[in-house]
Every structure is written in structure tokens, then in C-alpha cells.
Amino acid sequence: MIPAYCSNARSNVVELMDAEPCPYEEFAACLRDIARINAATNAHAPTLWWLERLWRTQDAGNGAFRVLDVGCGYGDALRAIARRAARRGVVVDLVGIDINPWAKRAAEAATAPEAPIRYETADLFAYDDGPYDAIVSSLFTHHLGDDEAVAFLRWMHAKARRGWFVNDLHRHVVPFAFIALVTRVGRLHRFVRNDAPLSVARAFRRADWDALLARAALAGAPPRVRWEPLFRYCVAWER
């Protein structure tokens, strides 16, 4: 059998965090461990650079710059965005949605009450709030099947006023082996030990993104697919 990380097809094995209901403490511990990996791998940097580019051309008269983070988990990306915006003097209104109610509780517990961030429990496909200037996601699209990923691209394209940004893993043997080792040696949460290498196997290669974008047939300039250090692919589009 060809291991999923080096096969041409994405794995369709469901991650434990999507499949197995668990107590709040377990889910929160899992999200905290993912946030530690995000911090150690500087995972939010491409999203922050992209937002900074949008902020440079933001008209101050338009009010707060609204960002939606889909599948926000622990909320660490939104807290990083809030810190960067404060440093740049940009007023932001940040919303995170996650289908798992434990995510909202864990993210709220980790967020200062004065931060311009609100968390909601929602399935993105049933979520109809907005409009948003920018829609971002991190480590999220690999949770979707190909048809859902195409629907997600169209959904963002229809809803984002200024643009959208996807930040997710690259399916490759190096991150697969690295993350399997690190999560075991670091004795991370059992969900993370199982799901982190599986996430890589469920993730995308350049050809996958090209095929999904071709199927989505989005209007306007073609989105840009870019490899980022520590094995991520980011897909960006601005209106």
C-alpha cells in the first residue's frame, strides 16, 4: 500500500478531532498543542504579511477592517492579527467561527476581554453573517473533501469584500515524518499525535490547488498559490 503522504491522492481518513466527541478539557488541550506547533513553526506569518498588504491600501474612512477566521480553533491566529493590527494602528473587528462549541470556549478563555475578537460556534456552510473585508483560514481546508473545498473557495469569493487567504499544509514526506516525530517525542495530546501526520496526508499539493481552483472557476484575476516555509501552501486572492 502506498502511504497517503506520498500518494497522488489526498487521504480521506477522518481526523479524531472531527470524529470523536470528547470532554472540553481534552479538546482544549488539543487546541493548545496545535497553537504551540503554530508558534514554533511561525505558521501565521504568511497570513499576517498578506493582511498587512491589504491594510496599506485600506481607506481609514471605511471603519474597522473586518476579518473572519474560518475554523478558528484556539483563536491564536486572530490574537496574532489583533496584535499586528494594534502595532500598525489599524482598527479591526475580528470574528472566529468553529463548528465545535469547545473551540469558542477555549478561544474565549485564552483571549483578553478587551481584544476586538468575537468567537462563534457555526458550520461555515450554514453561516451567513457579514460582509467581511477579509476571510482567512489556517489548517482548515484539509478538513474538507474536494467538493467541499471547491464550495468553500466559492463561498469566500462571494463573501470577502477585499480578499481571502487560505493557509494550509503541504502533503509531503518531510512534514509527515517531522510532525509524527515531534508530536510523539513532545508527548503532545493523543488527538494531535494521531491527527497532525494525518492532516499532512489529507493536505494539498500544488496540483491539487490548481485542480480545485479550476473547478471553482472563480471570477476575476486567478488566485495565487504559493509555497511557504515549513511546508505550507497559501492561496491568496484580492478583489
Ligand X SMILES: C[S@@+](CC[C@H](N)C(=O)[O-])C[C@H]1O[C@@H](n2cnc3c(N)ncnc32)[C@H](O)[C@@H]1O
**Minimal distance in Å, beta carbon 108 to ligand X?**
14
H-helix or E-strand spanning residue 58: none
Is 198 a binding residue for ligand X by CB under 6 A? The answer is no
Residues 35-94 binding ligand X (CB under 6 A) are 35, 38, 70-73, 77
Q: Which CB, 20 or 210, lies closer to ligand X?
A: 20
Closest CA to 200 of 48, 76, 90, 37: 37
Binder to ligand X among 47, 138, 141, 194 (CB under 6 A)?
138
Is 20 a binding residue for ligand X by CB under 6 A? The answer is no
Q: Which CB, 145 or 222, lies closer to ligand X?
A: 145
Is 103 a binding residue for ligand X by CB under 6 A? The answer is yes
Yes or no: say if 191 and 16 are a contact pair by the CB < 8 Å rule: yes
151 phi/psi in degrees, rounded to 5:
-65, -40
Q: What are the residues whose beta carbons fall under 8 Å from the beta carbon of 156, sequence distance 6 or more?
A: 70, 135, 164, 166, 237
Using Cβ positions, the residue closest to ligand X within the complex turns out to be 73
Q: Cα separation of 12 and 78, whole Å?
A: 28
Q: Which CB, 70 or 213, lies closer to ligand X?
A: 70
Is 100 a binding residue for ligand X by CB under 6 A? The answer is yes
C-beta atoms surrounding 239 within 10 Å: 13
Candidates 52-60, 96-104, 178-186, 205-213; binding stretch for ligand X (CB under 6 A): 96-104
Candidates 95-103, 155-163, 207-215, 228-236; binding stretch for ligand X (CB under 6 A): 95-103
Is 153 a binding residue for ligand X by CB under 6 A? The answer is no
Yes or no: say if 125 and 100 are a contact pair by the CB < 8 Å rule: no
C-beta atoms surrounding 112 within 10 Å: 8
Binding residues for ligand X, rule: CB under 6 A, are: 34-35, 38, 70-73, 77, 97-100, 103, 123-124, 138-140, 143
